[in-house]
Homo-oligomer: A and B are copies of this chain.
Amino acid sequence: MSVPPIVEFHEVTKRFGDGPLVLDRLSLAAQPGDFLAVIGPSGCGKSTLLRLIAGLSPVTAGRLTVDDLTPADAAAELAFVFQEPTLLPWLTVAENVELAQKLRGTPAAARAATRQGALDLVRLADRGGAYPRQLSGGQKMRVSLARALSLSPKILLLDEPFGALDEMTREHLNEELLAIREQKAWTAFFVTHSVSEAVFLSNRILVMSANPGRIHTEIRVDLPYPRTNDTRLSRAYHDLVAAGSRLLRSVEEISPVASRA
């Protein structure tokens, strides 16, 4: 392929301190524009994978490049929706969403417009003045998401952003996400526990196994974009979801969970 990968893992190994192996010689190349879904059992290293890309944690062995540089040096603009909502408690919802842009020096008017759009998108336009402690769990996650989207990143790391949301909000956001993707050509890593969500959103699904974390299989999702509600009714979609679920089950069976008790 002529385009160089934007994120490339080459035999990457990760362990924390002298703990057990978390990721074991993991190799992977994400092309610009890829929408990679990551599924796998709890504790298999999905969040860790994202944290490595973001440069929040160093690799123990192997090589990881982002934009051909080490994650720490990479100039690629990242946005990360953490698994737990990470809002600044002393800022209102609106201020939280605007903050990153403010740091970049975006003028106030532009910021306000982006913020308003992002909050509309996550259906929290009316809660801009609330403080995080006044929000419900799902609302907090949505603010995190709004913040990430308002950054127009090159790489979007989403760690179960919709786990705390009801199905309808979730589907709504899935569709919005894809709609944005039509305009902005980000590369996304999307951790989820929902195989159907993974199939609906991504063009590639990484199925991970645990202890140590490895990429067990990769599923190519060749459904055409844009995807709509019709996609969900298509045969191909259902087959992929069924295949994914089966794979996930098999993966969990081989993962020696709690084996070291």
**Residues of A in contact with B (beta carbons under 8 Å apart):** 16, 19, 39-43, 46-48, 83-84, 120, 123-126, 134-139, 142, 159-160, 163-170, 193-195, 245, 248-249, 252, 257-261
Q: Are A259 and B126 in contact (CB under 8 A)?
A: yes
Pick the contact of A138: B43, B137, B258 (CB < 8 A).
B43
* Complex alpha-carbon distance, A42 and B120, angstroms: 15
- Contact partners of A40 in chain B: CB under 8 A: 166
- Contact partners of A126 in chain B: CB under 8 A: 258-261
- Contact partners of A194 in chain B: CB under 8 A: 167
Closest 10 CB pairs of A and B: A42-B138, A125-B261, A83-B137, A126-B260, A123-B258, A168-B252, A163-B163, A126-B261, A166-B193, A43-B136
- Extra contacts besides A42-B136, A168-B252 (18): CB < 8 Å: A19-B134, A41-B166, A41-B168, A42-B137, A42-B169, A48-B136, A83-B137, A120-B261, A125-B261, A126-B259, A137-B159, A163-B164, A165-B193, A166-B193, A167-B193, A167-B248, A168-B249, A169-B252
Most buried by B among A84, A138, A169: A138
Q: A42-B142, A83-B137 are in contact. Are A257 and B123 (CB under 8 A)?
A: yes
* Complex alpha-carbon distance, A193 and B171, angstroms: 12
Q: Are A258 and B120 in contact (CB under 8 A)?
A: yes
- Contact partners of A159 in chain B: CB under 8 A: 137
* Complex alpha-carbon distance, A41 and B172, angstroms: 12
Which of chain B's residues has its CB closest to A244's CB?
Answer: B167
Which of chain B's residues has its CB closest to A85's CB?
Answer: B84
- Contact partners of A46 in chain B: CB under 8 A: 136
* Complex alpha-carbon distance, A165 and B123, angstroms: 25
- Contact partners of A195 in chain B: CB under 8 A: 167
Q: Are B258 and A137 in contact (CB under 8 A)?
A: no
Q: Are B125 and A166 in contact (CB under 8 A)?
A: no
- Contact partners of A170 in chain B: CB under 8 A: 193
* Complex alpha-carbon distance, A125 and B260, angstroms: 8
- Contact partners of A160 in chain B: CB under 8 A: 137, 163-164
Pick the contact of A245: B39, B83, B167 (CB < 8 A).
B167
